[in-house]
Amino acid sequence: MRYLPGQAQQLPGNRSALASYRASHFRFEVEGAAATLTLNRPQRKNPLTFESYAELRDLFRALAYADDVKVVVITGAGENFCSGGDVHDIIGPLTQLDMPGLLAFTRMTGDLVKAMRACPQPVISAVDGICAGAGAILALSSDMRIGTARSKTAFLFTRVGLAGCDMGACALLPRVIGQGRAAELLYTGRSMSGLEAERWGFFNSVSEPETLLADAQALAASLASGPTFAHGMTKKMLQQEWNMGVDEAIEAEAQAQAICMATNDFHRAYHAFVAKQRPVFEGD
């Protein structure tokens, strides 16, 4: 099947190859150390296909080995983020698959979320317009989200007869906006406005549509100039500590911080502070 692991385009993980990588099913551009990933089917509100799902999964897996990309921004072309799975390219064909085929597909989509959470780079979603279904999961799986007042985010799986527990939604969404609010969105499938999303903590901030991408890229550039190794460790701890008690988390953070204290970046920061200068981080 087209979307099974190992059948999507193989992506190199070394520095030079990933920086020059040209995606087949979306745009991927690297400026400095920040990458911008643009879902690029604006005439259909940027829906996902079997192929784009697989390529996104493989790209985020490759990012785990890329030292030239320090932050990733995800956005959509035109005035929408992502309308979810393409009705004609995904939803229709799914009605013809048997159970093993359906399970292979749902596991593949979940692997994309796992890859986004496992890569060490902070991921920022810049959300305008429609952000629905799997598109809402892409935003949810990001580390930070910037939206617009006119954006509409909907986990609309129940509206097509599916459960709200798609691609980790029942685990991730309550941790971002709370159990009751997550239950409301997942049961009803209704749209959440941009201002409501900011008030509920789904969006970190709201920008004007014309400055949204620039604001997200400015945040990305700021993070890219910071301590890469420490950012990766912070992301790892944010994910890993979900399954820990407080005592375990404190011990894990003691070990993580001790590792960071042994890096050159930590020593550079100290000497820059003493010299009353701005530290320059090199990610080692």
Tell me if 283 is assigned to some domain.
no
The stretches in the chain having pLDDT less than 70 are 1-17
My answer on whether 133 and 270 are in the same domain is: no
**Does residue 145 contact residue 204 with C-beta atoms inside 8 Å?**
yes
CATH code for position 165: 3.90.226.10
CATH code for position 243: 1.10.12
Q: Quick one: tokens of 91?
A: 């939803």
Q: Which domain holds residue 184?
A: 15-224
Q: Quick one: tokens of 79?
A: 């005035």
What is the per-residue pLDDT across 20-73, written as a single tens digit (0 to 9) for each? Answer: 888 899 999 999 999 999 999 999 999 999 999 999 999 999 999 898 899 999
Domain total of the chain: 2
My answer on whether 126 and 19 are in the same domain is: yes
pTM of the model: 0.92
My answer on whether 107 and 241 are in the same domain is: no
Of the three residues 224, 240, 263, the one that is the final residue of a domain is 224
What is the per-residue pLDDT across 183-198, written as a single tens digit (0 to 9) for each? Answer: 999 999 999 999 999 9
Tell me if 284 is assigned to some domain.
no
**Does residue 134 contact residue 105 with C-beta atoms inside 8 Å?**
no
My answer on whether 238 and 214 are in the same domain is: no
Tell me if 3 is assigned to some domain.
no
**Does residue 225 contact residue 272 with C-beta atoms inside 8 Å?**
no
My answer on whether 124 and 40 are in the same domain is: yes
Residue 235 is given by DSSP the state H
Tell me if 31 is assigned to some domain.
yes
Tell me if 81 is assigned to some domain.
yes
Q: Quick one: tokens of 193?
A: 């406005």
Closest to 125 (Cα-Cα) out of 194, 226, 25: 194
Neighbours of 16 (CB within 10 A): 9
Tell me if 234 is assigned to some domain.
yes
Query: d(Cα 60, Cα 173) in Å, to the nearest integer?
Result: 21
